[in-house]
C-alpha cells in the first residue's frame, strides 16, 4: 500500500514536471514566434529603408550629374573629395584626378578666404577659375562652410558666367559704337552747318572778284584810251606840263604792269575761291547722312573727292599717286559708306607714314574692274602691319595707336560695311614696293543686304 502510494506520488510529480516543461516550451515557442515576427518586420523595414536610401542616393547622383553648376566638396585641408559631372567637364579632369587636387588649384586663393569665414553660406562674385592647362573663365562662387558628414567641411558651387560677361562686353562695345556713331553724326551736322555758313561769304567773295575783274577790264580799256589821248596831246604839243606830270607818275608806278599784276592776283583769288567752294561742296556731301538706297557710283570720283578732302592732312607727309582705270565700271553701292571707308584707309596710311622716320612717304590708289568686281588697291610705305597682328587688325576695338588717338573700330566697321553691307571683301594683300596694301572688292552684280544700322552707319576712323 505504502509502495503504491509512493509510486503514485512520484508519477504525479513527474506529470507536473512534464506539464511545467510543456508550458515553458510553449512560452518559448510563443516568444520565438514573436521575435521571429518582430525580426521579419524589422527586416522588411530595413529592406524598405535600403530601397529608399538607394532611391535617394540614385536621385542625388542624377541631380549632381545634371546640375548645370560645378559642385565640389573639400575636407578640412581643402583637398577635393568629389566633383560632379559639370565640374569634371569644365575643369577637364575626371573625379579620380580631381581627388588629387586642392580647391586652390582651380580657384587660387579661395582657401585663405574660406578659412576666415564662419560656419554658414557664402557668396563670392566674379572670380577667375583656372583649368589644369592654364585656361581660365569667369565664375560666381557660392557654398557652405561647416561639417557635412564625417569628412566634408566645405561645399563649393561655382557658376560659369562667361555668357553674362560676354554679353556685358558686347553691350559695352555696342554702346561705344553707338556713342561713336552719335559723335560722328554730331560732327557731320556741325560740318554741314559750317559748310553752309562758309559757302555764303565765299559766294559773295566770288561775285565781288567777278565784279573786280570786270571793273579791271574797263579800267584797262580806259587806260588805253587815256594813253592814246596822252600820246596825241604830246604830239600836238598841248598841255606839256600836265602831260609831263602824267608821264612821270606812270613811270613811277608802272601802271601797265600794275594792272597786269592785279589781273593775275584776281585770277589766283578766283582759283582759290573755286578750291574752297569745291571743298565746301565735298564737306557737305560727306556730312550728308545719305540713304540706304543703292546708286550707280563712280568709284574714281569717290577716290578723287577723298584725296581732295584730306589734301591738307597729307601734304607734309606723303606723295599720292593714283592709277585710276578710265574705263572703270560704275558699281551699285551706298556712296556715303564707301567714301567713308576709303577716307579711313587713307588717313590710316598717313598715320602709318607719320610713325616712320622717312622724310616723305608714298601712297598709291589703284582701281581696276573685271566682269565680277570693282577692285580698289590702297597702298602705303608706312610702318606696316606685323605678321602676328595681321589676323587681329579687323577685330573690334583692336588698335596699335596710343590711347586717345584711335578707337580700334575703323577697320572692323569698314570690313562690316564692305562685307555685310555690300557683299564684298576687305583684305590685306601684298604689293611690291609697299609695306601695307588694303584691297576693297565690290561686286558688280550683288544684291545689297540690309543696310547697316546705328553704329555701323558711320565708320569711325
List pLDDT tens digits, range 217-240.
Answer: 887 787 777 778 878 887 777 888
Task: Kindly tell me if the per-residue pLDDT of 407 is higher than 60.
Answer: no
Tell me how far apart the alpha carbons of residues 376 and 299 are, in angstroms, rounded to a whole number: 9
Select the more confidently predicted residue: 318 or 312.
Answer: 318
Say yes or no to pLDDT of 459 above 50: no
Burial of 329: CB neighbours in 10 Å, binned 0-12, 13-18, 19+: middle
Within 237-361, residue ranges assigned H as helices are 240-253, 255-287, 299-309, 311-314, 335-354
HSE-CB for 272 with a 13 A CA cutoff? 8
Q: Tens digits of per-residue pLDDT, 193-205?
A: 666 667 777 777 7
What is residue 366's predicted lDDT score, i.e. its pLDDT?
A: 94
Task: Check pLDDT > 50 for residue 455.
Answer: no
Q: Quick check: helix, strand or coil at residue 101?
A: coil
Q: 3-state DSSP call for residue 298? A: coil
Q: Would you say residue 66 has pLDDT above 80?
A: no
- What is residue 192's predicted lDDT score, i.e. its pLDDT? 64
State how far the Cα of 176 lies from the Cα of 172, in Å rounded to an integer.
Answer: 6
Bridge partner list, 148: 152
- Mean pLDDT score, 389-409: 55
Q: Is 322 helix (H, G, I), strand (E, B) or coil?
A: strand
| Residue 184's pLDDT band (cuts 50, 70, 90) | low
- Residue 110 · residue 104 · CB < 8 Å: yes
pTM value surpassing 0.85: no
Least confident of 131-140, 250-259, 420-429: 250-259
pLDDT in the model for residue 406: 45
Whole-number average pLDDT of the chain: 79
Q: Is 461 helix (H, G, I), strand (E, B) or coil?
A: coil
Q: Under a CB-based contact definition with an 8 Å cutoff, are residues 78 and 109 in contact?
A: no
Task: Indicate the pLDDT class of residue 287, thresholds 50, 70 and 90.
Answer: low
Digit-coded pLDDT (tens) for 246-278: 777 777 767 777 778 888 888 888 777 777 776
Crossing angle for the helix pair 410-422 and 335-354, nearest 10 degrees? 150
**Helix orientation angle between 255-287 and 335-354, rounded to the nearest 10 degrees:** 110
Q: What is the pLDDT of residues 24-37, one digit of tens each?
A: 888 888 888 888 88
Amino acid at each position: 500500500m505504502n509502495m503504491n502510494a509512493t509510486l503514485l506520488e512520484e508519477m504525479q510529480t513527474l506529470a507536473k514536471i512534464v506539464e511545467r516543461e510543456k508550458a515553458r516550451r510553449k512560452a518559448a515557442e510563443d516568444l520565438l514566434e514573436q521575435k521571429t515576427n518582430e525580426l521579419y518586420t524589422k527586416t522588411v523595414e530595413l529592406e524598405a529603408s535600403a530601397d529608399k536610401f538607394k532611391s535617394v542616393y540614385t536621385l542625388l547622383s542624377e541631380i549632381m550629374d545634371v546640375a548645370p553648376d560645378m559642385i565640389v566638396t573639400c575636407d578640412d585641408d581643402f583637398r577635393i573629395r568629389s566633383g560632379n559631372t559639370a565640374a569634371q567637364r569644365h575643369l577637364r579632369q575626371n573625379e579620380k584626378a580631381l581627388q588629387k587636387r586642392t580647391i586652390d588649384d582651380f580657384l587660387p586663393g579661395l582657401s585663405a578666404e574660406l578659412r576666415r569665414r564662419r560656419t554658414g553660406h557664402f557668396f563670392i562674385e566674379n572670380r577667375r577659375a583656372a583649368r589644369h592647362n592654364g585656361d581660365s573663365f569667369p565664375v560666381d562662387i557660392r557654398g557652405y562652410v561647416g561639417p557635412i558628414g564625417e569628412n566634408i567641411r566645405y561645399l563649393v558651387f561655382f557658376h560659369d558666367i562667361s555668357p553674362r560677361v560676354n554679353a556685358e562686353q558686347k553691350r559695352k562695345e555696342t554702346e561705344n559704337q553707338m556713342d561713336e556713331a552719335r559723335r560722328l553724326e554730331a560732327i557731320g551736322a556741325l560740318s554741314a552747318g559750317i559748310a553752309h555758313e562758309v559757302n555764303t561769304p565765299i559766294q559773295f567773295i566770288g561775285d565781288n572778284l567777278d565784279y573786280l575783274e570786270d571793273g579791271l577790264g574797263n579800267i584797262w580799256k580806259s587806260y588805253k584810251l587815256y594813253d592814246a589821248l596822252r600820246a596825241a596831246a604830246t604830239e600836238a604839243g598841248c598841255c606839256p606840263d600836265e602831260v609831263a606830270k602824267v608821264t612821270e607818275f606812270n613811270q613811277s608806278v608802272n601802271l601797265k604792269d600794275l594792272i597786269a599784276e592785279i589781273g593775275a592776283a584776281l585770277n589766283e583769288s578766283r582759283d582759290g575761291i573755286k578750291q574752297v567752294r569745291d571743298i565746301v561742296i565735298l564737306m557737305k556731301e560727306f556730312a550728308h547722312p545719305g540713304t540706304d538706297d543703292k546708286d550707280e557710283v563712280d568709284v574714281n570720283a569717290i577716290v578723287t573727292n577723298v584725296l581732295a578732302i584730306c589734301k591738307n592732312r597729307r601734304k607734309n607727309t606723303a606723295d599720292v599717286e593714283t592709277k585710276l582705270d578710265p574705263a572703270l565700271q560704275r558699281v551699285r553701292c551706298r556712296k556715303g559708306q564707301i567714301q567713308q571707308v576709303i577716307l579711313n584707309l587713307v588717313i590710316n596710311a598717313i598715320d602709318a607714314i607719320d610713325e616712320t622716320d622717312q622724310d616723305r612717304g608714298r601712297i598709291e590708289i589703284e582701281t581696276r574692274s573685271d566682269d565680277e568686281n570693282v577692285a580698289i588697291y590702297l597702298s602705303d610705305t608706312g610702318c606696316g602691319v606685323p605678321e602676328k597682328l595681321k589676323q587681329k587688325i579687323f577685330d573690334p576695338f583692336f588698335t596699335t595707336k596710343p590711347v586717345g588717338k584711335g578707337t580700334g573700330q575703323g577697320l572692323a566697321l569698314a570690313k562690316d560695311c564692305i562685307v555685310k553691307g555690300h557683299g564684298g571683301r576687305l583684305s590685306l594683300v601684298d604689293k611690291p614696293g609697299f609695306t601695307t596694301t588694303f584691297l576693297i572688292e565690290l561686286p558688280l552684280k550683288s544684291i545689297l543686304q540690309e543696310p547697316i544700322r546705328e553704329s555701323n552707319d558711320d565708320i569711325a576712323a
